[in-house]
Structure 1
Amino acid sequence: MHPYVPLQSAGPLGLLPTVVGGVVFGLALAAPPGPMNAVIAEESAVRGWRAGLFAGLGAMVADLCFLLLSLVGVATVVTETPGLHRLMVATGGLLMLWFAYGAVRDASGFSSAEASGAESRGFRKALVLALTNPYQVVFWLTVGIGLLRPGTVDVLSSLPSVGTDTTGLLVVRTGHPALLVGLFGGIALWITGFPAAIVLARRRVEALAPAVAWASAAVLAVTGVLFLGQAVVQ
């Protein structure tokens, strides 16, 4: 765990380390493979960059909703109500299986023409999928709350080999709006850059679109089955 230091010792670097730290954290949050990036990849490969962007915006809006609910304490209901948590896991699993079926249909009947209304479809798909994911709620109730609590984190001082020599060089202020700006800025970078990379690769290799759709279907199906399994054994 990174050591906390008093807020006033954030150092002469001002808010820049906080913004940069938020961007890095946002990228780390958005980039790992999973069902949300599977949806973004499928929408981008099959329907184009705008559809992928709007799918990413759906996921980001869900994160914003969870952030606000965590701030007012409403999100704790999910973790304190086992039946509700199980219901969310099961619902999320069923939705992932349904979206996997849709990805299979996209892969089987792929057309290079982008479907009309694809942006709103991708946005709704990602938003509903994210809102039924209880693990995003848990994230905002644990790591997210820590980021919102006023204080500072001296990032480099915790490194075992150079910690004492770098104290105060990279101090991130938690609970500061600049951290949230950086965090959602990092997410925005990912949801614009990732679809662009998928579309660029698709243009170079036209067969990539159905392949991405099949891969997305596999990720969604496996995750959906795991969610349903967890709902049964809880």
Structure 2
Amino acid sequence: MNGRPNIVLVHGAWADGSCWAGVVERLQTDGYHVTAPQFPLTSMADDVARLRQVLTLQDGPTIVAGHSYGGHIMTALGTDAPNVSGLAYIAAFGLDQGESLAALLSQGPTPPALAHVFTDQQGFMWQPQDDFIQHFAADVDPVRAKVMHAAQQPIAGAIFSEAMGVPAWKALPSWYLVATQDQAIPPEAQRMFASRMSATTSEVPASHVAMVSHPDEAAQLIKAAAEARTALPAGQARR
């Protein structure tokens, strides 16, 4: 330990840990210990279990940063979040108790990035290539976006109906990076998440994959969370 919190990065649906590459490079250059594991995306319980597994390997306080559904995973840690001293949301879901992804997404028109998602025979949902390039990763070089699409991990459709328990953000300080050109999670929904969790909020003119197209801004938000929580005990509440 160098006195700074560890950082665990949580990817979302239709992605894997490599989506954090630019952020990892910047955080490591600044001396942070970073872990960007793979999540199964088979159920919320399985994904939370993987996050807890990774958290037990951290030597001391840890900032958890999540993108998209990754925010849902870390929110589901609840009030029992070992080693966690802060949460950083990157264009991510931050649901409250009793809410589900399906109910939230049904409140408005289907976002362009989700309009043609299809489900396979095993109940897993996939992104078609055109929508991934044009909407999901709209501000990423198309060649790179095509590679990202090839590496996508599908998500179990049943996850969308699972209700959130007591959210971790009610017990931990939060930071939020709003992607103002997001075509998967509407920016106004992101601002709502950030507002009700009293998050320290920044905005960036990015597509849904803000950590890929704007790694400097994403890394800076995570570093701000880490610097604010340096030398504070893990699990310390905001109030």
Q: TM-score, normalised by structure 1?
A: 0.24
| Structure with the larger RCO, 1 or 2 (CA within 8 Å, 6+ apart) | 1
Please identify the structure whose Cα radius of gyration is greater.
Answer: 1
Give the structure with the higher percent helix. Answer: 1
